[in-house]
Amino acid sequence: MSHEYDAIVVGGGHNGLTHAAYLAKAGLRTLVLEKNDLVGGAAITEELLPGFNFTTFSYALSLLRPEIIHELNLVEHGFLPLMMPSSFHPTGDGDYLLFGDDHAQNLQEVRRHSPRDADAYERYHRDLDRVCQAIRPLFDNAPPNVFGNDPDDAADVKWLMDHLGGIDRKTMHDVVRLLTGSAKDWLDDYFEHEAIKGYHASSSIIGSKVGPMSPGSGLVLLFHKMGEHDGHLGSWAFHKGGNGGFTQVLARAAQAYGAEIRLGAPVTSVLTDGGRAVGVALEDGTEFRAQVVVSALDPRRTFLELVEPRELPLDLVDNIRRMKFRGVSAKVNFALDGLPVFPALPDTVDHYGGFLNIGPTIEYIERAFDAAKYGWYSEQPFIDAAIQSVVDPDMAPPGKHVMSCFVQYAPYELRGSDWETERQAFGDKAQAVLESHFPGFGDLVLHREVVTPVDIETRTGLTEGNIFAGEFLAPQMYFFRPAPGWSQYATPIEGYYQCGSGTHPGGCVIGSPGRLASARVLKDLKR
C-alpha cells in the first residue's frame, strides 16, 4: 500500500471523519489515522456487556449542521436520528416538569406550576430563537480574519459588519446579554418558578467550569440552543445505535468517497521540511507523506505536541498554553434490569423518552458547581441522564435498558486525591442522587461504568477531559478560537491545518469545524 496521499487527517473523531469525507469527495487521496481501534473519538458506542450498548462519552445529537447530512449523503450510509419525544425534569419535591412534542401541551405543563410563566415560556423561546437566527450566519461560516490586511479579509469583515448592522436592537442586546451574562440573569427576566428556571439552566453549564450564576453560562446555553432536530431549534435526538452509530455512518460516507481509514495508528508528530508540512510519523516510526496534514485533535495537541512549538510564533504558543480546558464532566453509565420508577408517574414510561434532567433548581446546580471551584466533585451532582434503549430498543436486550448519565461537576484535577482513588466514591454519589429521585434504582443496576475526566483524556485524547476541546469562554470563541489570528483553520506551518472542535464554532457532535476546515484546505489547493 502506498504511503503517499494528498491529505492526511490526524484523528478519526467525528470532525476528522467529516473533514476527510469532504476532502475525499473533492477528489483528494485522503488518509485518516486514528489512534484507537474504533473510529469516533468521543462519539463511540461500546458493547460492555453482551447486548448492552453504552455511549461511553457523547450520547445525543443536536448540533450537527444539517448541511452536512445532505452534502455527504449521510442518509444513504445509515444516518437515522431518532427524535427524543420528551424531556423530564424532577422538581425535587416529588413533582416534575414533563415536556414533549406538543407546544400547547407544554404550555399547560408550565402553567400547572406557574400561570405567570406560561406566556413567559412563549416569549422566552421566541426571543432565544431570534438570537439563534441572528447569529447563525456567524456560527456556520469561518470567522473573518479581523487581524488580516488582504482584500479578502476586508471583504469578510465587511460581510460581518453588514450582517451585525442588520440585526434589530432588541435581538442584538439579547445576543450580548447571552454571550456575556449568566444563565440565571437571563432566565430571571422571564420566569418566576425555580424549577422552570432550573430546567432551562441545565444546558448552560454542560461541559463547562461555570455555574448557572456565573457570567459566561449564557454563552453555553446559547451554544446548545443552536442545535436542532428536523428544524426544531434546541431539540435533540438519539442517533440509531448511539453516537457511535453516527460516527460509523460518517466513516462509511468517508470511505464511500474514497478516504482510507487506519485504526490503531497513533500519530506522534507532523513531519516538516523547510517550514512546510510534508507528512506524519506514527508511534512505531511508520511515515506517511502528504502535502496537506490536518489535525482533528485539540489545540494543545495540534500546536504543542504534534509539531515543535519553536516552529510557531511565540504569541500563538502562549495563547495555546493558557487556553482553558479544565474538564468538569464525567459519565456514569448503567446497564439496568428494568426501567426506574418515578413515584409520581408509576405506570408510564413516556417520561423516559429523552433527557432526564436531575438539577431541580438553579441553586441546586450552582451548589453542585461550588465544590468544583475548590477542586472537589459535587456531593449532589447535576445529572443529564438518558435511557436510550426506550427509544432505540437495539441498545439493550429486550426488556433491559442502558442509561447514560452525564454527571457534573467532576473537576479534572482533584485537590488532595486523584480520580483512580475517587472513581467508585464518585459513582456512588451519582447513584445516590438517582436513588433519591427513583427509589429502588440501585436494585436495577446490572453494571456500572464510571468514566472520569482522566478517562476522557486518556481514551479520547481530549486535554484535561474537556469535552469541547477547549472551554466555551468568550475569549476562546469565534475569531479567538483557538487563538487570535488562527481561527481560519490554517496554522503558521504551510500545509498544516486544524479541523477539531477546538476551532470555530466549537464542540459537541457538530461537524462544522471539519466542514469549514475542508473549505479552507480546498480553497488553498485551488480545488
Partner 1 sequence: MIRTTPFHARLSELNDQQLYTHWQGTLSPMRYSHAPKHEYFAVRNSAGVFDTSPLYKYAVTGPDAERLLSGALVRDIRTCRPGQAQYTAWCDDRGFVMHDGVAFRHSTDDFLLTAGRPALSWFQELAAGLRVELEDVTDDYGMLAVQGPRSRAVLAELMPEAEKLGYFDHVPAKVADAGVTLSRTGYTGDLGFEITVPADDALAVLDAVLEAGRPHSIRPFGEEALMTLRIEAGLPLVDVEWHDARLAFSDADCVTPKELGFGWMLRGVRDGSRRFVGSDAIRRELVDGTSRWATTGIVVDPEDWDRLYREADLFPPKSEHPWPYESMVLDEDRVEVGYCTSFVYSPVLQRHIGIARVRPDLAAAGTALRLELAINHHNTTVRVTTTSMPFFDPERKKA
Q: Which residues bind partner 1 (CB under 8 A)?
A: 66-67, 69-70, 74-75, 79-83, 85-86, 100-102, 105, 129, 133, 230-233, 240, 350, 353, 389-394, 398-399
Q: Are 322 and 473 in contact (CB under 8 A)?
A: no
The one-letter amino acid at 189: D
CB of 463 to partner 1, least distance (A): 34
Q: What span, in angstroms and rounded, lies between the C-alpha atoms of 210 and 362?
A: 12
CB of 206 to partner 1, least distance (A): 23
CB of 228 to partner 1, least distance (A): 9
Give whichever of 98 and 323 is closer to partner 1, judged by the CB atom.
98
Q: Are 153 and 145 in contact (CB under 8 A)?
A: yes
- Cell numbers for 349: 414510561
Looking at residue 40, the DSSP 8-state letter turns out to be B
Q: What span, in angstroms and rounded, lies between the C-alpha atoms of 459 and 451?
A: 10
Alpha-carbon Rg for the chain, nearest whole angstrom, is 22
Residue with grid cell 426544531, as numbered in its chain? 232
CB of 437 to partner 1, least distance (A): 22
Give whichever of 101 and 311 is closer to partner 1, judged by the CB atom.
101
Give whichever of 151 and 346 is closer to partner 1, judged by the CB atom.
346
Q: Are 296 and 33 in contact (CB under 8 A)?
A: no
Give whichever of 66 and 115 is closer to partner 1, judged by the CB atom.
66
CB of 392 to partner 1, least distance (A): 6
164: exposed, middle or buried (Cβ count in 10 Å: 0-12, 13-18, 19+): middle
The one-letter amino acid at 203: S
Show Cβ contacts of residue 105 under 8 Å, excluding neighbours closer than 6 positions: none
Give whichever of 86 and 208 is closer to partner 1, judged by the CB atom.
86
Show Cβ contacts of residue 499 under 8 Å, excluding neighbours closer than 6 positions: 9, 15, 16, 18, 19, 294, 295, 296, 489, 513, 514, 517, 518
Give whichever of 357 and 389 is closer to partner 1, judged by the CB atom.
389
CB of 26 to partner 1, least distance (A): 18
DSSP assignment of 22-91 equals HHHHTT--EEEE-SSSSSBTT---EEEETTEEE--S---B--S-HHHHHHTTGGGGT--EEE---EEEE-
Give whichever of 126 and 310 is closer to partner 1, judged by the CB atom.
126
Looking at residue 13, the DSSP 8-state letter turns out to be B
CB of 395 to partner 1, least distance (A): 10
Buried b (16+ CB within 10 A) or exposed e, 2-25: eeebbbbbbbbbbbbbbbbbbbbb
Dump strand ranges (E) for 413-522: 445-451, 496-498
- Cell numbers for 323: 487556553
CB of 233 to partner 1, least distance (A): 7
Q: What span, in angstroms and rounded, lies between the C-alpha atoms of 341 and 471?
A: 36
Give whichever of 13 and 81 is closer to partner 1, judged by the CB atom.
81
CB of 527 to partner 1, least distance (A): 20
Looking at residue 302, the DSSP 8-state letter turns out to be I
Give whichever of 30 and 86 is closer to partner 1, judged by the CB atom.
86
Give whichever of 53 and 498 is closer to partner 1, judged by the CB atom.
53
How many Cα atoms occupy the beta-carbon half-sphere of 417 within 13 Å? 13
CB of 79 to partner 1, least distance (A): 7
Residue with grid cell 400547547, as numbered in its chain? 104
Q: How long is the chain?
A: 527
CA distances from 34 to 10, 40, 245, 344 (A): 7, 9, 17, 47
Q: What angle do CA 485, 487, 482 make, to 5 degrees?
A: 95
CB of 35 to partner 1, least distance (A): 31
Q: Are 73 and 337 in contact (CB under 8 A)?
A: no
Give whichever of 70 and 310 is closer to partner 1, judged by the CB atom.
70
Whose CA is closest to 40, among 23, 24, 59?
59
Give whichever of 49 and 271 is closer to partner 1, judged by the CB atom.
49
CB of 324 to partner 1, least distance (A): 33
Give whichever of 48 and 82 is closer to partner 1, judged by the CB atom.
82
CB of 339 to partner 1, least distance (A): 11
